[in-house]
Structure 1
Amino acid sequence: MKKAFFLAAVLLAIPVWTVAQGLSFSASVDKDRLEIGDQLTLTLVITGNVQKIPEPKIRNVGDFALYASGRSQNITFVNGVVTSTTQFNFVLVPKKVGTFKIGPAELEIDGKLLQTMPQTVTILPSGSIPKQRAPVPTEAQVREGLKDIFVTASVDKSKVYVSEQVTYTVKFYQAVRLFDNPEYYPPTVTGFWKEDLPPQTSRYETVGGRRYLVSEVKMALFPTAAGKQTIGEATVKCKVEDLDALFDRDPFNVDLNQFFNRGMRERVLRSNPINVEALPLPEGNQPDDFTGAVGQFQMKAEWNKTATQVNEPVTAKITIWGTGNVKSIAEPKVSTPQNFRVFLAGSSERLTREGTRIGGGKTFELSFVPREPGSFSLPPITFSYFDPAKRRYVSLKGQPLHLTVTGTRELAGGYSGITQKELDVKQTDLRYLKKELGDEHGSFVGSPGFWALQTLPVLLLGATMLMRRVRDREESDVSYFRSKRASKMVKKGLKEIRAASQLPPAEYFGRLHKMLLEYLGDRFNVASWGMTRGEIEVLLNSNRVAEEHKVSLLELLDLADRARFSGWQPSLAEREEALAKAERVIRTLEGSR
């Protein structure tokens, strides 16, 4: 009764809200020393009476990968003045060891530019900072202490093969009401390729006789190297209600700010890190055509025709699909048949999520170009993968092709399509128009027109030879063909991306990411699908790409990953800036050929 009387008295005493004068903008980090591979949280806080707050811009984050992790807003009432506090959270992952400055962050409101102080952070080598982690509460501990909230993490398998899927699950248990949605920070997964497994699910569970709302997040992980790999700690930040702390105080000595925040407490929960043992793939009985694929797959190889002409390609469309590490599927190994040229004409990738399993497929198009006529038997396309469930290698085989090739074999000089019969000149083919050439009205023989007609066939033959040589080089020199194609394809890709500016961020930056990888693959004649960031950096270094251009390319790929996986919502101006940056880098690389 006393509490109810006090609450009514406070509510009647509330005066009309007034406008707060002035704004403040501050920045802070949750840690100023961390190891490479760890992450930190940058928090930006804007305080004042303002309703619409744009997204802040953070300068000087080139040495970190930046991911937006949500915003929250709180309104307080102190001494008759309403104050709005808006908080932006960002996760930063360092790229190298050293001491760096983050920021300043900038925010423009009503023409006024606000700016924070830069934050200084020291990045240390891995293993430099001793770890002290609290254990996750057991069910007995929960029953004894009746925890209001807690978080757990688990994996479906603790021992797997390299490139075999591990399903990682984080559960957030909640028995009290929260002020807003909890903020989830995924663990660091160095040594794994990862894919999120949406959507997040919620259900009720009873633990220790207490009913909890459980939110569950899953992630698919694939170890990239043998040995012990560690999944870092997952973090959940939330604000919980604490009414008892408010009403246990003296009713005549209550802070109104605490009253309207209803005894709010901020909690930070962390899961335990988890070790996973990655077993190396067995080397015994490894097929010669094995390229690293792990999972359960099927293959279909189709030929587009059974008859062709000399120098006209026959295309094999190879589709490989199933469940497992699709990124590990590489171009099938094909031995080049005698009297044929073979090159990769194109490839595509499709990723699917069926429940908690990652799957999908890849399609490759291989072109076989015959050099001479005849009947040929092309060997079947083969593909081998490692099945972790069966613990053995599995080989798949398509059908051979019986091919009929017509046309003219290339002459020793390198020309095709000109038969010896066409080169023979018979004496009976010569016909004289006049027995004697008169010059009564001027003779055509010896005139400029006459010599022009005599020279024209030679010029046409020379042009044909040049075109034939260029075509031969394109068909026989895959590196030259792909490098020449790179410029044309990237211009087309940039044009298509510019026209698709209204697409969702994940799809828009997904196209930009794909275009950049395909350009690097064609430009440097490598299979770019599935390349890691480290492999891309090695590729750029080996081809002596200037440091500033290499950094720009890696930043673009990081930006694309951020839009694809972190839920970041870039503005139209930020999209155009990213596309313009890609154009500048590509233009520079093209100019350095």
Structure 2
Amino acid sequence: MIKFLRYFFLLLIVLLIDKKTIGQIQFQIKPNATTIGKEDVLQVEYKVSGATDASNFAQPDFVKWKVLSGPAYSSQEISVNGKTESSVSYVFSLQPRSTGTLQLPAASVEVDGKKINCAAINITVKSTAHVAGANASSNSLQLPGGFFQEDVLGDDEIDKASVLRPGETFASKIKDNIFVKVTANKTSCVVGEPILVTYELFTRLRSQSKIAKQPAFSGCTVYEMTTEDQFPHIITLKGKEYKSYVIRKVQLFPLQTGDLKLDIASVENEITLFRKNSFGDETPTVQTVTLSSEPLTIHVNPLPEKNKPADFNGTIGDFSITAKADKIIDTADDNNMLEINISGSGNFQSINCPKISWSNNTEHFDNTEKSDINKMIFPASGTKTFLIPFVAKHAGTVIIPPIEFNYLDINSQQYKTIRSDSIEIKVAPALKNKYEINKISQDITNHKYIWIVPAIALLAGISWWLGFGRKQHLQQKTNEIINTELKNEVVAVVDEKEKLPEPTVLTNTEKLNELLLIESDKKFFAHAKQLAEEFMRQEENEEKRKLFSQIIEQCNEALYSPVAIISKESVFISLEKLV
């Protein structure tokens, strides 16, 4: 019975934690407008609130929309007055293909290994070109890095470059001194390999610029690396100094083989040039010019087949793996936790919980996962952690063999299999109850004497059968027998009650002293929680009951939170003061 209760409560805790986690996560479609014109651009955000990471985003099929850009991936954490709010977003820039009511289709994404879905919503598209408040396509979607302030640094290089000399035209001056360029860290890769792509505006002229068209990325997953930093970097190209502004910076993970054609980025520039007249005065000339990057193609090759592991799941990069158990000295039927950490750099999206060869002496439950990944560096680096609750069923030794994980090494282009160390857990027998419950709950009722009832009925029937003449005499004898038997049995029951050993009743101080003898943190907090609950039931003072409730919450945090910082000493002192 006790073993069953342990499994029941462990499963209940896992379900409650899981329910709480899912309850805090919301997946919604957030457009920047619900009514737009037929030539407007709609910014659509598929937003996962309450999560720091998400994977396996199933991109919707935008049948009635033209995808101008996206998905642009971003994640953020905002702390306000000590409360942290996190979210993950996939942003698209769309333009309607027709008027009327158009649907933004639903999508799905995985958070902590669980698939969640968002609901589709409708957008009204008017027959007019533009609707007030909606983004017009001529203005484009302004993402981070989307607007560059006029260069007012006034250095000599820019002053010289902005002067039209005799024989120079506006077109030739622009060609040599301002342009948009896209670069990639490599032009050939394999499926799933991270690629760093940067779009930049290079200029030596005085100009005010804004993005007219953001590049669209299809056939790949995108990690957004663009920031709000609008300050230029000085770059020397072919002996000339340019100011470089980042338009867009992303990590791309190709999803299929073939040629991945990078879309163009366009920047609208208001350029001011000066021409000296015959008197030596400088006359400004202002023109607006839209410049675009040249197309760039990345060839995506299939994964190497040589020595490819049968269970390879597409992870590419450079990784290491560690595993540890929460307790290596355990007790049968007690809760334990296996933690697996996969650290390194590369493609984290395809990393799933590795296969574990569990002992027959264990029972394990569904895993949860968490990620600590820096996507603002290339390649993305960090750690993905998997937590698996388990229980050892019997006393003895539990061995968790080395856990394997394979990946394609990004440098050598060879498959590698890494392994954690094996884990040996010593399991002691399950703890016995302090009181022998079978003795305390022994049957001391009159149930075992229920046979007297049918006996009475039988004797009554006999007396009736023998006739009315003997009924009085027989009934009198029967009653005497029954009364004698009942008296003897009642005396026996009372004697039996008196012989039962009385359970030892400890004082509150003795209970606290026993708490000091518990060395295991888990057992200490579990027992302290039980004492706090017992004391709270006995306490009538409302203020003290609240303090006991706080101690119970601290014990729960220490038992079930992986980052709890609750000391045994503080819990003991709090209990001692209240008792």
TM-score (norm 1): 0.44
TM-score (norm 2): 0.45
